[in-house]
Every structure is written in structure tokens, then in C-alpha cells.
Amino acid sequence: MPRRENVSMSVIRRLPRYYRFLRYLKKTGVTRISSTELSAKLGLTASQIRQDLNCFGGFGQQGYGYIVSQLCDEIANILSLSSQYPAILLGAGNLGSAIGAHMSFQEEGFHLIGIFDQSSDRIGMELANLKIRDVAELEKFCKKEKPVMAIFCVPRDAAAELAEKLYGLGIRSFWNFSHYDIAMQYPDAVVESVHLNDSLMTLCYRISN
Amino acid sequence: MPRRENVSMSVIRRLPRYYRFLRYLKKTGVTRISSTELSAKLGLTASQIRQDLNCFGGFGQQGYGYIVSQLCDEIANILSLSSQYPAILLGAGNLGSAIGAHMSFQEEGFHLIGIFDQSSDRIGMELANLKIRDVAELEKFCKKEKPVMAIFCVPRDAAAELAEKLYGLGIRSFWNFSHYDIAMQYPDAVVESVHLNDSLMTLCYRISN
DNA sequence: TAGATTGTTAATCGATTAACAATC
DNA sequence: TAGATTGTTAATCGATTAACAATC
């Protein structure tokens, strides 16, 4: 009997990969797949895949395997991808612009409702069908629009300052591309960090060793 | 007596974080730190930090701790950050442009020497002090300039095709932002993947649960 | 029914933490 | 020297893998 509580992050982090691959299978017309086939394609063990899925429910059929489209939907459901959490983007520089464009295109789970920057060069410009706002308007905007998630594409110092402000305004989830460590400062916040530099450094290590 | 072989990825992935924080300490004038202090700041155990560092050498002094600038340099050295591996960027769309700009700014371990795209809108444009080239020139360029690493900021199908070509040309390391799974196809390649969608989906899960 | 494959329990493996002797 | 903190070994914890009974 599966429980959704206490599912480890190791498991959670594999779900999007399953989802991505199942969607691809579905697109290419595959209707049925066994854990063994899946494991071969993903480079995991069949055991792990069954173990992972059974944290959430018995989605397969003994002797048959899994129905691709059904499993795909189940995972989308587990991840709550049909949510439309209102999100704001902080920083419309190179990375911020890319993320903004990406968000407006993808829209799985989140919906971008505001973009903020402090540079007068950028304020007023259009990005992802939104006009870039002055970060000075942030507080007013949040009180009115109640975003749930904030994306940090700003430098470290700005991130520290903005995190404090947004936390004060009740925002508890952050997608963090900055060098500032939000998770350490606000332990009850949900923080997902993407440190591109860190990623590149581990690549450098592995090439060299 | 530490050995550099067989250091687990869990350890490697923490090194850039140590490095980042130590550099910050150095900048703010801190000269000495103990594993206990570090652990409090980073939200890890002191034991783990000492364990991690001792995979590579005894960088501390009993009864004293670690000299910040020295430890910082040691980690930079372990990660081979003074390397200048020639790298190429594939795809100069929103994300590619952001990564390109980032690379030319940072230059830790890698040096961007070429940018390629297939869109005539972009070919010829300037990015990160480089002129965007036609992807048709890729093979010729690689034979001449011998890049060591390739950054994938292209859609899945283009990624599959380009990975095959570049692998054939001898490139064995990839920074992969695409949905295509290079690591599975070429097991002897060093692949570091950044799946922004996956990251966002785990955030969605955590908000919802 | 026989064959296949799941769901789940038990065994193994690896990573993290605790403890402490070595030593600055 | 006494106090502090490392380096390192041993204990614990969690995640992965193997095995197999349940069942489609």
C-alpha cells in the first residue's frame, strides 16, 4: 500500500526523467512497456523503476507491464503538472530572458505573471508576452497578484535582498539560479537551485580526472 | 593517505559549493575556518566536510582548522579550474545566448571558441565576442580547432544528430541542456546534463506535497 | 493453464555520521 | 602544556538491488 509521504528526493528527481521518456514513447506510438524494457532504455535497474513507481501506487499489471499513456498521466499527476502556480521572474538579463521565454513556452505547473528588473534599459521592454516591470513595484504587485513562486536570475546581493522581501510577503518557493543560498536562510521554504557554474565545474573535474 | 581515484560523484558535486563559499569568505576577509564553522554555514555535518576534503589530501591543521585562501586554491586545483579547455556552443537561441554570455564572462576551466546555429537569422550575429557560424561548417571547424567540449542548447532531434557527428569527430565531453540523453548513447563520454524542465517539475512536486 | 511481469520483502551496497586517537 | 580541531576508522543510516510470491 503506497504512501506519498516520505518519498525521498532521489525518487522525486527521477520522476521527471520517467515522464520525459514516457511522453517520448507515447509520441512515437509505443503503447505498452515493461519495467525491464524501461530500465534498458534509461540505464537504471528494473527493480529501481518498480520500487520508485510503487511509492505512489501500483500502476502496472502483472504479466503485462505498464500502459505508456496511463503511466505518463499518472506521473504528470504525481508531479502536479496541471497546476498553474503563478510565478514571477526576477532579473531579465541573459539568463532571466532565456528562462522567461522558456516558461512562457512550457507552462507545466507554473504560469509566469510578472517579470522584474532594476535596469532602466530593460524596464518597459517586452519578454514572454509581459512587460518588464521596475523592481520597485514588486511589493505592490505581490500584494495584489499573490504569486506563489519566484525565479531568481539576479546577482548574489540582489538575491539576498529580494529573498528577504519576498519571504516577508509570504512567498515560500523559489527557483534559484543565483549564487545566494536561499535554502539555508529560510529552512521552511521550498528551494530548487540550479547552479550552472557548479555544473560546469564538475564537468571540468571529470574531464581532467 | 588520500587517493583521487574512485571519488564518488556525491563528493565531487559538493566541491563547487565549497569552492563558491570559500571564495565568498575570502572576499569578505575571513582567513581561517574550522570544519564545524563551515558545516554550520553550509548546512552539512563537519564530519562530511572533513571526509570529503580528505579524499584529496589533508588540507587542514589539527587544532587550527583550514586556511581559507589555501583551501580555496586547493579545491580550484582539484577541479582543474585553471584549465582552458576549448569549447563550442551549439544553438544560439534564448538559452544558448545566455550560456554563451555566461561562458565568455566566467571562463573557469573552459574557453569558448565557436558558436553554431542553423538559423540564417542568427548566423553572422555576434555573441560572446564570437560570430555565430553556420552549423554546416561544424565539421571543418572541429577538425581545425579541436574543441574538447560541446555545449548542447538545441532541440532533441538536432542534439541526437549533432552528438553523433561530434562523437565521430572525437569529442568526448558534453554539457547538455537538451532533452536528448547523450550519456546513454555514448557511455564513454563525460556528460553533464542540466534539465531545466526536470528541475522545475521537482519544484512543482514539492510545492504540491 | 502457462508465461510473464508486477508489487513487495529481504539482502546488499554505498554514503553519511559518530567517535576518537593523532597532533598542531 | 592544555585546548582545539583535524584525519581516519567504525557504526549507522538510507538507497539500491536481488529475489520471489502474487497475479494478470
Say whether the CB atom of B82 is under 7 angstroms from strand C. Answer: no
**Cα dihedral value B131, A194, B148, B7, nearest 10:** 170
Do residue B136 and residue B158 come from a single domain?
A: yes
pLDDT of residue A180: 94
Nearest CB to B16 within list A79, A110, A201? A201
B49 is in which domain, residue-wise? Answer: 9-78
Q: Which regions of chain A are under pLDDT 70?
A: 1-4
Question: Could you tell me the mean pLDDT of each successive run of 10 residues in chain B, 209 residues long?
Answer: 74 98 97 98 97 96 98 98 97 97 87 97 97 98 98 97 98 97 94 97 97
Please indicate, yes or no, whether residues B136 and B44 belong to a single structural domain of this protein.
Answer: no
Same domain for A63 and A28, yes or no, is yes
Which pLDDT score is estimated for A5?
72
Note whether residue A3 is domain-resident: no
Q: Which residues contact B128 (CB under 8 A, 6 or more apart)?
A: B89, B100, B101, B103, B104, B112, B115
Q: Closest chain B residue to A42 measured between Cα atoms?
A: B184
Task: Report pLDDT for A104.
Answer: 82
Same domain assignment for residues B132 and B194: yes
State pLDDT tens for residues B107-158: 789 999 999 999 999 999 999 999 999 999 999 999 999 999 999 999 999 9
Cell of B106: 566566467
B31 lies in a domain?
A: yes
Residues B32 and B112 in one domain: no
Residues 6+ away with beta carbon under 8 Å from B3: B55
Going by C-alpha positions, the residue among A38, A106, A185 that lies closest to residue B203 is: A106
Residue B16 carries which side chain, given as an amino acid letter?
Answer: P
Closest nucleotide (C1' vs CA) to A47 is: D17
User: Which candidate in B82, B110, B151, B203 is best for mutational testing of the A interface (most A CBs within 10 A)?
Assistant: B203
Buried b (16+ CB within 10 A) or exposed e, A128-159: bebebbebeebeebbeeeebbbbbbbbeeebb
How far is B109 from A90, CA to CA, in rounded Å?
28
Looking at residue A1, its pLDDT comes to 36
My answer on whether B90 and B52 are in the same domain is no
Q: Are residues B70 and B33 in the same domain?
A: yes
Helix (H) or strand (E) holding B35: helix B35-42
The answer to whether position B1 is within a domain reads: no
C-alpha–C-alpha distance, residues B102 and A94, integer Å:
8
Same domain, residue pair A90 and A67:
no
Among the partner residues A95, A109, A202, nearest to B201 by beta-carbon distance: A109
Residues A69 and A102 in one domain: no
CA distance B193 to chain A (A): 8
**CATH code: domain of residue A20:** 1.10.10.10
Contact B79 A194 (CB under 8 A): no
Distance from CA of B140 to the nearest CA of A (A): 24
Output the 3-class SS for chain A.
CCCCCCCCHHHHHHHHHHHHHHHHHHHCCCCEECHHHHHHHHCCCHHHHHHHHCCCCCCCECCCEEEHHHHHHHHHHHCCCCCEEEEEEECCCHHHHHHHHHHHHHCCEEEEEEEEECCCCCCCCEECCEECEEHHHHHHHHHHHCCCEEEECCCHHHHHHHHHHHHHCCCCEEEECCCCCHHHHCCCCEEEECCHHHHHHHHHHHHHC
pTM metric for this prediction: 0.96
The number of folded domains in chain A is 2
List the one residue out of B88, B208, B94 whose CA is nearest residue B137: B88
Residue B12 is nearest to which of A42, A194, A205, comparing CB atoms? A205
Distance CA A109, CA A122 (A): 27
